[in-house]
Structure 1
Amino acid sequence: MKQAFKLQNSILAKYLIRNVLMLTAGVFIVIGLVIFGNQLVLVIKESLEEGIPIADLLPLVSFKMIRDVPLILSLSLFLAIILAVSKSYKDSEAIVMNSLGIGDKHLMVFIQPVVMIILIFILFLTTVAVPWSKQQRSMIMDRSENASEFSFIKEGEFQDFKGGELVFYASKVKEVEGESTQNMEEVFIYTLANGQPIITLATQAQKYTDAETKSVYLRLKDGARYHGFPSTANKKILNFDQYDLQIIDGEKRHNVNTTIKTESKPTLELIFSSKAGEIAEWQWRLSQPVSVFILSIFAIMLGKTSPRGGKNLGVLAGVLVFILYNNALLMAKSSLERGEISPLVGLWWVHLLVLLIIFVFYAYRHGKLSQLISKPF
């Protein structure tokens, strides 16, 4: 009898695993097409704005895809388990399982081979592949920046930068061989300062980078700055022989590069760090595979529905749970980066809170919550 029961469990486990795998693949393809397609559009737009070479487009898209795979795969598995369990209840298969003594605990055990394989794969992605992809992306972006933000300026054409805050025109642009500078002639610049338009005209200009601050400047020669045009109120004209106009703030660029550098560091290096930002980063990397295991347990209970229940209720609840869970992890990560919470608490409190919710939900679904509340301590 026991051998027959084990055989039945084996058949049911394989059946459930097959359904979960097929649904995971289907959901991943659907979500992936939407997100990856959007990423492709954003990268192309970014490349046009920042002058990234076309040859770097495909690598940048690939690196962004690697970054998003852990989140998409985690969501796909979570929804797939909900759909697979829900389907078994809709088709009354779960009722037969329950009559054989197979409940939620057994289903949780049945799906663990799939969960563990995907968990290990996501762990590899978050701790190795994603940091590497961010490092490679940073190298491409740095190379593009070092090649100069203005290296793709077209002679005789008006072009806008900084989201339209700066309009630039140069009749001639000459590259200086062996140097990261450019010489320009007959320059026109339109900018806004405190809501007031400023027009700058110069006969010559040269782009250079300050060695200390890393800020990028345009050194304008023999020109004039017109404040307040085209209105006549508070109109000012400033003639100059030489004027340095800051194009890129080196401090802001340094802060961005520091964040990227932390995200691209090896996980082992971060684990032994005492910096709040680096501690938050490695805890975030480990939290994603941990959440896969926790969500797989939650998915079993969310998929358990009545044959007459709403078809998509479990999926909608699952999406809401997934969003809240990940947002809570992101908020905990930000708090840890700012030093507002202890590294011992870190992101782990979010996982413990979700486990507590699962325990209460499980007790409620099985009629044990009232017993736990009334039980004296």
Structure 2
Amino acid sequence: MIIFRYLTREILITMAAVAGVLLLVIMGSRFIRYFSDAAAGEIPVSMLGTLMLLHMPGFLELILPLAFFLGILLAYGQLYLNSEITVLVACGVGPNRLLKVTMLPALVVTVLVATCSLWLTPSGKRQNDTLIAEQESRLDFSALQPGRFQDFGDGRTAYTESLNDDKTRMQEVFISERQRRDDGGPETVVTRAEGGYQTVDPETGSRFLVLNDGQRYGVDPGRNVAERLVFGTYAVRLSRAADMAQLDDAEYRPTAELFGRDTPEAMAQLQWRFSMPLMIPILTLLAFPLSRVNPRQGRFAKLLPAIFLHISYLSLLLAALDAIGRGALAPAIGMWPIHLGYLLLGLWLTRRSQLVGGR
């Protein structure tokens, strides 16, 4: 029991350190991208934390298998370097028992990855892209910076001189939009008003910007016809419920729904989601014999080949995901030969390591 706790602690501490570094690098890169979008007024600053949190399961799904793989290599490499494994073997704790001990923390990591892959990641992706799609499809006061012209996509530019304290009303509003005339030609519509506020139609779910005391101009360069409308109250539809992004792709669907679909995209996503947790015990079989190093070589002797082995495994799975989704690879074959190949490689390396070790 003491040996189990000791080995498990060494593996999990090393895994946590590696995962922390990788997560910091990946999340830092994504945060910088979102922060640039917020600085440009494309998304409100208040959304940054939510978007990063929704991305977390997807990051962990990819990071944890690699971190656990490296955790075994580094932790056991240090134990071999310090001759601790030699002492354990001399005390009757053979390689087979060490492998069984290693499989117990592998089971914990497998459950964590399965939770992310089968449930949290698709849910987080859907919520994340829904938030971004809603933000892109509407003009939201929370993203407006008073005194600046800001582009909100789809040919819409907005300006407001000031906002009240709770950001519910704008003063001195300017909106420029690209629209289609009745004859199908493009037209620029410019609207100016003394103030405005947002409201949502409870029946249709459409969002409107209600403007007060202003003018609306419909002009187009090269045409000698223009429209002018003076209004006391004018409502501009910012988005429709039906216009929101339809996130029907297989990657956004819950895992339970994918079982009822026989499309190539659904089958590809289903196999990918099960492949992530399945990687953990296979990577454990690969890492255990590769962690055996000669004290003269150092603990990093086999680290680079092991990383390339993990990269090849993941790259083949990604290639199979794309091939199945395109219909170029039959779902019945799918990713299973890849898992089987690396499983056999892990069993062969484990057996070879035992024979070399005299066991």
Instruction: Calculate the TM-score normalised by the size of structure 2.
Output: 0.71
CA displacement at 1:19 relative to structure 2: 1.0
Question: How many angstroms does 1:262 deviate by?
Answer: 2.2
Does 2:295 align with 1:307? Answer: yes
Residue 266 of structure 2 corresponds to 278
Which one of the candidate residues 120, 125, 143 is aligned to 1:129? 120
Picking from 66, 84, 105, the partner of 1:114 is: 105
| Counterpart contact for 2:74–2:291, Cα < 8 Å | yes
Out of 304, 308, 317, the residue aligned to residue 316 of structure 1 is 304
Q: Distance in 1 between matches of 2:128 and 2:159?
A: 33
Residue 292 of structure 1 deviates from its aligned partner by: 0.9
| Corresponding position of 1:11 | 2
Match of 2:33 in 1: 42
2:64 & 2:159 partners in 1: Cα distance?
51
Q: How far did residue 56 of structure 1 move?
A: 1.6
Q: Tell me the distance in 2 between the aligned counterparts of 1:354 and 1:269.
A: 29
Matched position secondary structure for 2:43 = coil
Name the SS of the counterpart of 2:327 in structure 1: coil
Q: In structure 2, what is the equivalent of residue 22 of structure 1? A: 13
C-alpha deviation, 1:112, in angstroms: 1.7
- 3-state SS in 1 of match to 2:285: helix
The 1-side partners of 2:187 and 2:144 are apart by: 17
Preserved contact between residue 265 and residue 324 of structure 2 (Cα < 8 Å): yes
- Offset, 1:100: 4.0
CA positional deviation for 1:156: 7.9
Q: Give the SS at the match of 2:219.
A: strand
Task: Give the Cα–Cα distance (whole angstroms) in 2 for the partners of residues 135 and 321 of structure 1.
Answer: 32
Alignment of 1:162-173 (within 5 A): none
2:282 pairs with 1:291: no
SS in 2 for 1:52: coil
Aligned: 1:354 with 2:342: yes
Q: 5+ unaligned residues in a row in structure 1: which ranges?
A: 1-9, 174-182, 190-199, 207-218, 225-237, 243-252, 369-377
Asked if 2 retains the 8 angstrom alpha-carbon contact of 1:156 and 1:169, the reply is no
Aligned equivalent of 1:31: 22
After TM superposition, give the deviation of residue 155 of structure 1 in Å. Answer: 8.7
Which of the numbers 214, 220, 223 marks the counterpart of 1:223?
220
Once residues 122 and 158 of structure 2 are traced to their aligned partners in structure 1, the CA distance between those partners, rounded to angstroms, is 40
Contact persistence 2:57–2:120 (CA under 8 A): yes
CA distance in 2, matches of 1:294, 1:106: 17
- Counterpart selection for 2:46 from 42, 49, 55: 55
More helix per residue: 1
Q: Tell me the matched-pair count.
A: 300
Alpha-carbon deviations, 1:303-353, whole Å to 9, x = none? Answer: 111011133223323322222211111110000000111111111121111
8 Å contact kept, 2:316–2:338: yes
- Provide the C-alpha distance between the structure 2 equivalents of 1:322 and 1:308, rounded to a whole number of angstroms: 25
How far apart, in 2, do the equivalents of 1:152 and 1:113 lie? 48
User: What 5-or-longer segments of structure 2 have no aligned partner?
Assistant: 162-172, 179-185, 193-215, 227-242
Find the aligned partners of 1:170 and 1:265 in 2 and give their Cα distance. 35
**Deviation by residue 1:214-272 (Cα, 9 ceiling, x = unmatched):** xxxxx994332xxxxxxxxxxxxx54648xxxxxxxxxx99x8556x422211111122
Q: Give runs of aligned pairs for residues 86-97 of structure 1, distance below 5 A.
A: 86-97=77-88
In structure 2, give the amino acid aligned to 1:133. G
